[in-house]
Chain A
Amino acid sequence: MCALCGVLGGGGDWTDAAARPGIYTPNVDSLQRRRERINRVACAQRVLGFYGLTLSDWQSTSFVLSTMTGKTELVENLTHLWSAAEKLLGRPCDPLDPALVARLEADGG
């Protein structure tokens, strides 16, 4: 963990790769790490909103995933996010679901 910014240096997940030669990561310094976490929450929230879920950053170390009824799960990274979302919802979160894709298409472009 970075002693200054309090953000964990990444647990080895490909979306959170630690900065080292030859490896691409947006987590180069504390400012970029914090910016990336905010960006990540916004990008994921756009999809999670379809399921009525809310994601927020928690102390720059984890993310808090919540349902509208207040059930929550702590998740470490994007890879863990989707299995946690499915567990809270009790149903699959499929990026190929035509209804989800249509919603994103209507929202984007």
Chain B
Amino acid sequence: MVEFTPVNLITGFLGSGKTTLLQRLLADPALADTAVLINELGEVGLDHHLLGRIDETMVLLQSGCLCCTIRGELSAAIKELHSRRERGEVPAFRRLVVESTGLADPFPILSTVQADPVLRHHFRLGNVVTTIDAANGLGRPESLKQVAVADRLVLTKTDLVPDTDALLDEVRRLNPDAPLWRVPEQTVGAAMLFDDRTRSALQAVPAVAESRHGSVQAFALTFEGVLDWTRFGVWLTMLLNRHGKKVLRVKGILNVGGSATPVAVHGVQHLVHPPIHMTAWPDADRRSRLVFIVDGLERAAIERSLGAFLSPPKRAKAAAVA
């Protein structure tokens, strides 16, 4: 079986503590065989770890497909690391952590790993970890997107700001269910942040209430009965083609026809991860559940559209009866 090397992204706004977090994490023996890429001008000298440097180069392929937005430098840097690993020139790392600049849109970085024809056969996307500055809060559009796409959240500088209730409320409106740690008052280990085996389990989905932060809205949809995977695929590909930039996050577990266990889907903007065939349902609820975090789209329109796409056509129904 092919071993895919997980790629974890650490993102967060300028000065929110990404490098500090990374330095602490790299001291964890669990990350001893981890390569690190930092796309900032300064390179932090971390002994026995690998460092690369990436520019902000972005290349849009001629197809015009936004899924193919590739950060050429990042792609080249990861391929070079992979080649050197295969040649035995660097230690055989089993994880790659990419620390982005504070102003970076996380999407092109994720897209690079998933869409690159070479990388996608050797690497897979792991958790996205986003740091949030408790002292300065959110605010910038880049910061909102970084929080919305996160699988794990780390609220930093909580020793400087004791009262973070308002900020947490704001964060939860953008990302209702990602586990969150407060540092330095809580100790956060590499395993907590990077273990993605339960990433798509969505145990918290039923508790996701509709929330809104400016034009960004988070909500959950549930569907009774068995869902047609192909019709769902037609709908989601069409939605992401037209509105991918506005769909900051879509994730859920689906009760798919012909499968005894659920299928987990997980997407960030135009990018959708390979669907995970889960080994068991997380609870007794057998409904399909989808969480959306969208910017400038209305829940009612999405719900009605998905319902219409999923409903079987009358002709098919008549044929089934006959």
Contact = CB atoms under 8 A, between A and B. Distances in A.
Contacts of B231: 43
B233 A15 contact: yes
Given A24-B263, A96-B302, A46 B313 contact: yes
Contact of B241 (A36, A40, A93, A98): A93
B233 A108 contact: no
Summarize A's interface: helix, strand, loop or mixed.
helix
Nearest to A78: B237
B272 A95 contact: no
B275 A25 contact: yes
Contacts of A79: 65, 67, 237, 240-241
B265 to A, nearest CB: 8
In this complex, which of A43, A78, A86 has the most chain B Cβ atoms within 10 angstroms of its Cβ? Answer: A43
A101 B277 contact: no
A96 B297 contact: yes
A27 B267 CA distance: 20
B259 A44 contact: no
B237 A47 contact: no
Interface residues of B, number: 46
Contacts of A94: 242-243
B234 A23 contact: no
Interface string B158-190: 000000000000000000000000000000000
B238 A95 contact: yes
Contact of A104 (B1, B64, B308): B308
A43 B228 CA distance: 10
B3 to A, nearest CB: 11
Interface in A52-83: 78-83
In this complex, which of B242, B256, B301, B312 has the most chain A Cβ atoms within 10 angstroms of its Cβ? Answer: B242
B241 A24 contact: no
Contact of A24 (B275, B309, B313): B275
Contacts, number: 105
A82 B237 CA distance: 8
Contacts of B234: 40, 43-44, 47, 78
A47 B235 CA distance: 9
Contacts of B235: 95
B308 A108 contact: yes
Contacts of A17: 274-275
A43 B235 CA distance: 10
Contact of B301 (A15, A25, A96): A96
B120 interface: yes
In this complex, which of A79, A81, A93 has the most chain B Cβ atoms within 10 angstroms of its Cβ? Answer: A79
Contacts of A24: 229, 256, 259, 263, 275-277
Interface string B1-35: 11000000000000000000000000000000000
Contacts of A104: 308-309, 311
A107 B237 contact: no
Given A12-B115, A96-B243, 11 more contacts: A14-B267, A17-B274, A20-B1, A23-B274, A44-B234, A82-B237, A83-B241, A93-B238, A104-B308, A104-B311, A108-B308
22 contacts: A12-B117, A12-B120, A14-B272, A14-B275, A17-B275, A23-B275, A23-B277, A26-B230, A36-B230, A40-B234, A43-B234, A78-B233, A78-B234, A83-B63, A93-B242, A95-B239, A96-B305, A101-B308, A104-B308, A104-B311, A105-B311, A108-B308
